[in-house]
Structure 1
Amino acid sequence: MSGGKEFGSAGIAVVGAGLVGLGWAIVFARAGLPVRVHDGDAGRLAEVPERLLASLTDLLEAGLIEERPEAVAARVTTVADLGQAVAGVDYVQESVFERTDVKRELYERLESCLGADAIVGSSSSGIPSSAFTAGLSIAPRCLIAHPVNPPYLAPVVELVPAEWTEPGALEAVHGLMSRVGQHPIRVAREIEGFVLNRLQGALLREAWALYEEGYCSLEDIDATVSKGLGLRWSFMGPFETIDLNAPGGVRDYAERLGGLYLAIARERTDPQPWSEALIARVEAERRESLPRDGLRQRTAWRDRRLMALAAHKRRAEGEA
């Protein structure tokens, strides 16, 4: 869709300079592409260079980039005007606030300033693009490109077309994501929450219920994943996991444990929202373990651990 040139070579615009938007800027700049970052909040936009350089320095120390952080950062420019930010680019990665009205207002503005062949991917975590692009002339060039946060450390990105998304737009974004080091996942049609958050939601639903019913502390529930299930899930998905967990493979596993999982599923036939009382209990227990003023520091710790894991997986996959 870019006149014979490799899609993305004309540049990338990232709209929204929060955690996800900054992460996307790193993904594209790390791959050698020029990136313009726009945000309606001037203060947030002004923080981009410092935040960008700090993350790139961490990546260099982890062995995940070879260029100097300053060289990668030089590919990223901040642009206060939306029209100037998207002018002439091939691709726009929208990463604004997760609310339908906010996204709709932005896409109506994009309709008047987007290039004729430019494609827009939304970082929406669960709202399908049809909810905020219906009736717009640019709608056939819009789709979901939902990452894991931060996208420069967790490569999966879900590509979800609306019913009117042009197949060529989906193919172009799939190719771009593959070239910049992401792992694109095709979701055949729209579904609320897409795939990643529906899988995560199933685990969260059970975790909240087990805590509410008094079976486990938050710490022990977290440990069950971080020191158990998550160790395998860091390099295998659920189907490969169960395929290797029974002598005869996945059918053997299904025959042995299918009844147990059916019984568990039948226990949860009346889902309820997380009550304010339950949220307050969880919040109190979490803040006892991690005071609110420690959240940013712990997030940085998480990212460093992810960097170490990403570096290990890169080495392991290279040796396989």
Structure 2
Amino acid sequence: MSRVAIIGSGFIGRAWAISYARAGHDVVLWDEERDAPGKALAYIETILPDLEANDLLEGASATDVRARMQSVATLDEAVAGAAHVQENTPEDVEIKRNVFGRLDAAAGPDTVLASSTSAILPSAFTMDLKGRARCLVVHPINPPYLIPAAEIVPAPWTDPAVVERTAAFLRAAGHSPIVMKREIDGFVMNRMQGALLEEAFRLVAEGYASVEDIDIGLREGLALRWSFIGPFETIDLNAPGGIRDYAERYQQIYARIFPSAQWRADWTGPVMEDIEAERRRQLPADRLAERQNWRDRRLIALAAHKRRADREIGR
């Protein structure tokens, strides 16, 4: 197994640490804030027993997985000998440029430098690097130890062999990489999620449905199928003759809808007053952290169920 360096050990960094250590890698955490890696490891220690209890540690014990992680004092020490670096610093292009400059100077020539950024194109912070061919984005849905999908986004100059190597590395760690052919704002997941959110805001802004009714539509409707098959497979199975048959039968519905979707509701405008008020009636602000913990426990249960279903029913 390889050495993996986690650069930035907040929410995303600590989640990646679990994922890579579970896969058997030696994981080192470094952060500009000296006490952050210790806090991350303390949090990880509270999560590992639940993962072990739900058979989500690949047969290892919580103790064994924890033993594969350590913090280090310097960035140079973190990347020394690392095969893969996962950067998780704030969503600020200047910070990314600075950190990647330091990583490119310190890491060995064969080390892959990956950013967890969810919004910044890799070309924006790697263009001036000597080793820019080994740089790319690996963007997870948080937390990656429970949600396997991760986007691999190359810059125009990223070596295709680095993309292939990173995809293989992620698959070996239990992930399902989305291998993009080229970069675009929002990548894949945020563009898909954004399309749903834009429509959700429009429906509330124009008074067609409540926040809870829209959540029900996803939670108790579309998301049930989408949790194990995607939108293309869904429509392939929703017409007798498959995906072309579906398009011929139903394209006119979506063509009719499309013109009414060509405007944006201002997410911070008047509609937010209604949306926030309804959400706070559903969940008071002082219970947000409690509900976040509930969400993560549900994700653990769902991940365990999907693994069992994959074994017993097939993918």
Which bracket does the TM-score occupy, shorter chain normalised? over 0.9
Partner of 1:293: 286
Q: Secondary structure at the match of 1:42?
A: coil
Partner of 1:3: none
Equivalence map 1:88-167=2 (5 Å): 88-167=81-160
**1:170 is aligned to 2:166:** no
Q: For the residues of structure 2 that align with 1:278 and 1:43, how far apart are their CA atoms?
A: 40
Distance 1:39 1:292, change over 3 A: farther
Partner of 1:279: 272
Q: For the residues of structure 2 that align with 1:262 and 1:307, how far apart are their CA atoms?
A: 39
Kept after mapping to 2: 8 A contact 1:157/1:182: yes
Q: For the residues of structure 2 that align with 1:227 and 1:191, how far apart are their CA atoms?
A: 31
In the TM superposition, residue 272 of structure 1 has moved relative to its aligned partner by 4.8
Partner of 2:207: 214
Partner of 1:29: 21
Q: Percent of aligned positions with the same letter in both sequences?
A: 47
Partner of 1:6: none
C-alpha RMSD over aligned residues: 1.4
2:262 aligned residue (265, 269, 286) = 269
**1:11 is aligned to 2:3:** yes
Deviations for 1:39-77, whole angstroms, at most 9, x for unmatched residues?
112332221221111111111122212322121111111
Q: For the residues of structure 2 that align with 1:209 and 1:186, how far apart are their CA atoms?
A: 31
Give the TM-score normalised by structure 2: 0.95
Deviations for 1:191-229, whole angstroms, at most 9, x for unmatched residues?
111111111111010011111111111111101100000
**1:84 is aligned to 2:77:** yes
Partner of 2:30: 38
Partner of 1:55: 47
In the TM superposition, residue 166 of structure 1 has moved relative to its aligned partner by 0.9
Q: For the residues of structure 1 that align with 2:2 and 2:23, how far apart are their CA atoms?
A: 13
Q: For the residues of structure 1 that align with 2:270 and 2:73, how far apart are their CA atoms?
A: 42
Kept after mapping to 2: 8 A contact 1:40/1:80: no
Q: For the residues of structure 1 that align with 2:132 and 2:272, how far apart are their CA atoms?
A: 38
Kept after mapping to 2: 8 A contact 1:145/1:158: yes
Partner of 2:246: 253
Q: For the residues of structure 1 that align with 2:286 and 2:71, how far apart are their CA atoms?
A: 29
Show structure 2 runs of 5+ residues with no match: none
In the TM superposition, residue 284 of structure 1 has moved relative to its aligned partner by 2.5
In the TM superposition, residue 91 of structure 1 has moved relative to its aligned partner by 0.7
How many residues align? The count is 312
Deviations for 1:215-258, whole angstroms, at most 9, x for unmatched residues?
11111110110000000000010011111112222122112210
Q: Secondary structure at the match of 1:72?
A: helix
Deviations for 1:168-213, whole angstroms, at most 9, x for unmatched residues?
2111111110111111121100111111111111101001111111
State the AA in 2 paired with 1:286: R
Q: Secondary structure at the match of 2:114?
A: strand
Q: For the residues of structure 2 that align with 1:113 and 1:185, how far apart are their CA atoms?
A: 28
Kept after mapping to 1: 8 A contact 2:4/2:26: yes
Q: For the residues of structure 2 that align with 1:21 and 1:112, how far apart are their CA atoms?
A: 21
Question: Structure 1 stretch 178-187 or stretch 57-66: which is displaced more?
Answer: 57-66
Kept after mapping to 1: 8 A contact 2:16/2:145: yes
Q: For the residues of structure 2 that align with 1:31 and 1:240, how far apart are their CA atoms?
A: 29
Deviation beyond 6 Å, 4+ runs, structure 1? none
Question: Structure 1 stretch 42-51 or stretch 167-176: which is displaced more?
Answer: 42-51
Partner of 2:196: 203
